Structure formats: structure tokens, C-alpha cells
Amino acid sequence: MSRFEGKVALVTGAASGMGKAASLRLAQEGAKIVLGDVNEEGLQQTAADIDAAGGVAKAVTFNAMEEESCKALVAAAVETFGQLDVVVNAAGIGGFYRLDELTPEVFNRFMSINLNSVVTICREAMPHLQATKGNIVNFASLNAKTMTAYQTAYCASKAAVAAITKCMAQEFEEHGVRANVICPGGIETPMVTQMRFPEGMNRRLLMNLQPLSRKGEPEEVAALVAFLASSEASYISGEDIFIDGGARSAM
């Protein structure tokens, strides 16, 4: 399959989990990839994996907490490959915090990484996406719709990512740019396996996080990213697509 031959994709969170899997998948299907992440070592590994598979990738270290760094990432992508067809915003942080632990610093870290960086990257990328009639795939979460105790910051940031993506889809529809949001749940990645839980939490309040019979694989999500980013999804925009093994239907 080469649905992305001649296309350039920018993927954040590319050092790990679903961002990495999406990068590998898009590269495998012919896209040149700009890989963005704060984790330099992981980023280099993803670039090496793409290279070993015969793909083309450029690694750019960036910090989603810094506006200038987000802008520089988009600029580096366009400078390196001359165009931008697809933007995938997968960088993010998770974690459970009691309300009394939710200092402005903690709350702002969630907002800055999970939400503000997405706005900045989309805003900077939009003129280039208009030029190619490209599209955006943002990562929200099952928690964009399903709220959980101790996830005030995470749920707020992800519900907002779903909202802003739909707003952008409306605003740029007439310019030929699509924007969709993926809402994963229970995917086996370092974010989930290394999840932070607060001291003294009431486990009963997390009963709605009932695990299904299995976790999802990052590659299963990468397949959805590739579909949404491809011309096969040419009439899909402004959608939030849940990929959670059926978890939401049981909630």
C-alpha cells in the first residue's frame, strides 16, 4: 500500500506508543515523516526504525510546553520536505491527581502539553495544509466524553482537544482541510503501563475503568490514523472516532 506516496506528515509524540506506531505506519505507506517529541533518545530510535524499513524520516526534538518550540517544529517540517500534507498530534501526558494535588503548575502542564500545543501546531500548519488540501488527526481520549475521578486536568484537556478539532474542521472545510479526532481507550503504551495514581485514592471511584478482555495495540490505532489521514476518508471531517475495544458502549 502506498496511500501517502509524495506526502509529508508531521507526527508529535513520535518517540513512543501510538505516535511512534502512526509514524511507522505512515512511513511504510510512503509518507516522508517529521518526527517530533521531547524524548530525544526515543525519537532517534523511531527515526532509525523507519530508516531500517526503507522509509524517510527527520527527527526534531521539541517541547510541547513551549509555544516557540511548537512553532519551530512546524517550520522545520516545511523547511525539510517543502510541504505538509498531514499533521498528527499524539504527544500527551496522563495521570490521576486528587483535586488538592491539582496545583496551577500541574493543571497548566496538562493544558499546555495536551491542548495548547495542539492549537499552536494546527495554527502554524494550517497555511501549509491549505496549500496541499491536507488534514489533521488529533489525539483526544475516551476521556473526552467519559469523565473519571482524579482526572480533572486530563479530561478537561482531552474534551477541549475534541472541541477545538471540530471547530477547526468547520472553519477550514471550505479551504479543503479536514480535521478529525481519535479517542483511544485502553491502549498498551508506556502512558498506561506507567500511569500515576494518587496516594489514598478511593478505588471504588475508578470502577468505570473496567478493563476489557484485552488492551489495544498501538498498531491498531495507527491503522485508524492512516485511514483518516488518507484520501479514503475524504468525506470524513469534524468527527471524534472512538477506538476502545467497545469500552464506551459499556459505560
Integer Cα distance of 120 and 138 in angstroms: 12
> Residue 71 in contact with residue 81, Cβ under 8 Å?
no
235 part of the active site: no
Q: Is 185 in the site for ligand NAD (CB under 6 A)?
A: yes
Binding mask 134-163 for ligand NAD (x = CB under 6 A): -----x-xx---------------------
Size of the residue set binding ligand NAD (CB under 6 A): 31
Q: In the beta sheet, which residues pair with residue 37?
A: 61
Q: Is 247 in the site for ligand NAD (CB under 6 A)?
A: no
Q: Is 39 in the site for ligand NAD (CB under 6 A)?
A: yes
The footprint of ligand NAD on residues 15-34 (CB under 6 A) is 15-19
Binding mask 44-63 for ligand NAD (x = CB under 6 A): ------------------xx
Q: Is 42 in the site for ligand NAD (CB under 6 A)?
A: yes
Q: Is 192 in the site for ligand NAD (CB under 6 A)?
A: yes
Region binding ligand NAD by CB under 6 A among candidate stretches 10-18, 50-58, 122-130, 145-153: 10-18
Candidates 95, 186, 225, 237; binder of ligand NAD (CB under 6 A) is 186
End-to-end CA distance of the chain: 37
Q: From residue 137, give the alpha-carbon distance in Å to each of 20, 27, 166, 192.
A: 14, 16, 11, 21
Integer Cα distance of 10 and 88 in angstroms: 6
Q: Which of 70, 175, 98 is nearest to 132 (CA)?
A: 175
Q: Which residues of 12-26 are buried (b: 16+ CB within 10 A; e: fewer)?
A: bbbbbbbbbbbbbbb
Which residues are identified as catalytic? Answer: 154
Residues that bind ligand NAD (CB under 6 A): 13, 15-19, 37-39, 42, 62-65, 90-94, 113, 139, 141-142, 184-187, 189-192
